[in-house]
Homo-oligomer: A and B are copies of this chain.
Amino acid sequence: MNYARPDIQAMTGYTPGEQPKGTKVIKLNTNENPYPASPKVTEAITRAAQAGLQKYPDASGTAFRMRAGDVLGVDPDWILCGNGSDDILTIATRTFVGENDAVRYATPSYVLYKTLAEIQGAVQDVVRYERDWTLGYEFVAPAERLKLAYLANPNSPSGTVLQPGEVAAIADALPCPLLVDEAYVDFADSNCLDLVRTNERVMVSRTLSKSYALAGLRFGYVVAQPAIIEQMAKVKDSYNCDALAIAGATAAIDDQAWLVENVAKVRATRGRLAAALGELGFAVTDSQANFVWAVHPTLSHEELYLDLKSQGVLVRYMRYDHWGDGLRVSVGADEQIDALLALLAPLVRGR
C-alpha cells in the first residue's frame, strides 16, 4: 500500500545533475565553480568545528546576516538564510502557495520550480520564453489563485538576463509576489537587489554554491522586505543552517576580493569557451552566468553528450518539451575547457 499523498505518488522527483564518483571526470554539468573557495572559508569552518558542535547553531544565522547586510547594503532584517537557495525556494513556495493555488514560471528554466509546485500540490502556469529569451505578456497576465512567480535571472540554461527595469515592470504587473532567483548573478553585469527596496512583492534569492565555490556547503539566502521575511521565517526549519555553514558563509561573503578575482577568471574563460564553441559551429547564447548554452544546427546533442561522457567529460544534455534540446556547458578551469574542446573538435568535424 502507498500512504504518500497522491501528488507525491504521481511525481517523478527532481533529478539533480550526475555526480560521478572518482576524480578523473571533468565535470562541466552542474555549474560548480572550478576553483576552491577562499582559504578564509576553510579556516572559519575548521575553527567552528574545533570550538565544538554540541550546541544548536544560531537559528537565524545572525553573523552571516550582519556581514551580508554590510556587503549588500541592506538591513540584516531583510535577509533570511537558507540551506542552499533550494531551501529558500522551498520556503517561499510553502509560505505563499497552498494546494490548488497556482505558481508561474518560464521554460526553459530551472527545472526545480516544477518539482516544488508538484510537492505543494499547486497548479503550474508555465510560460514559454520567446526564441530570443525574452518573456512575453503571458508572464504577467492575471490568473486566478496565482500566488507566486519564479524567475531565474540570469536564466538557466540560457545564461540570459532580463534587465532590472524589465524585471521591475514584470513585478509591477504581476498579481503576486515574484521570486527573482539570482543564483548566477555574480557572473552578470546587473542584478535586481534594488527592486526589493521599492516593491514589497519582490524577493531576490542568492546562493553561495556558484560564485563562492561552496556547492558542498549548502548556503543561500533571500533578500526581501521584513514583513515578507517574517512570514517566511515561520516556515523554515528552526535550525536550517548548521554552525559550520554559517561560519563558512560568513567568511565567504566577507572576502569580496576573492569573489572579484574568481568572477573575473570565470568570465574570461566563459568568453573563450563561447568563442571556441562558435568556431565549432554551435549557436552559443550570450551568457551572463558560469555556463553557456550551445545548440548545434545539425548534430545530435544527445550523441555529443554521450560521446563526451564516454571520454570522461561530463556536460549537461538538456531537452525541454515544446522547445528542443542542447548542451549546457559549465565554465570550468582553462585546462578543463581545453580538454573539452580537444575532444569536441573531432566529434563535430568528423560527421
Contacts and interface: CB of A to CB of B under 8 A. Distances in A.
Interface in A1-18: 1-5, 7-9, 11-14, 16-17
Interface in A30-74: 30, 32-37, 41-42, 45-46, 48-50, 52-59
Interface in A240-255: 240-245, 248
Contact of A57 (B17, B45, B218, B234): B218
Q: DSSP class of A's interface residues: helix, strand, loop or mixed?
A: loop
B37 A53 contact: yes
A98 interface: yes
B214 A53 contact: yes
A1 B176 CA distance: 11
A305 B170 CA distance: 53
A12 to B, nearest CB: 8
Interface in A220-278: 227-228, 231-235, 237-245, 248
A201 B4 CA distance: 11
Given A54-B33, A244-B244, A16 B59 contact: yes
Contacts of A12: 234
A36 B55 CA distance: 9
Contacts of A50: 42, 46
Given A19-B59, A201-B3, A239-B218, A233 B13 contact: yes
Given A1-B200, A242-B242, A53 B86 contact: no
Given A34-B54, A216-B53, A218-B242, A87 B237 contact: yes
Contact of A99 (B84, B95, B98): B98
B96 A121 contact: no
B46 A49 contact: yes
Nearest to A89: B237
A155 interface: no
A237 B3 contact: no
A45 B176 CA distance: 42
A216 B56 contact: yes
A312 to B, nearest CB: 16
Interface in A115-157: 119, 121, 147
A87 B239 CA distance: 9
Interface residues of A, number: 82
A326 interface: no
Contacts of A109: none
A176 to B, nearest CB: 7
Contacts of A201: 3
A103 to B, nearest CB: 13
A215 interface: yes
B97 A231 contact: no
Contacts of A177: 3
Contact of A56 (B16, B57, B101, B235): B16
30 contacts: A3-B96, A3-B177, A5-B98, A5-B147, A8-B235, A11-B234, A16-B56, A17-B56, A19-B55, A32-B54, A33-B54, A36-B52, A37-B53, A41-B53, A42-B50, A45-B49, A46-B49, A49-B248, A53-B213, A53-B214, A53-B217, A53-B248, A55-B216, A56-B215, A56-B216, A57-B216, A83-B237, A83-B240, A84-B239, A218-B242
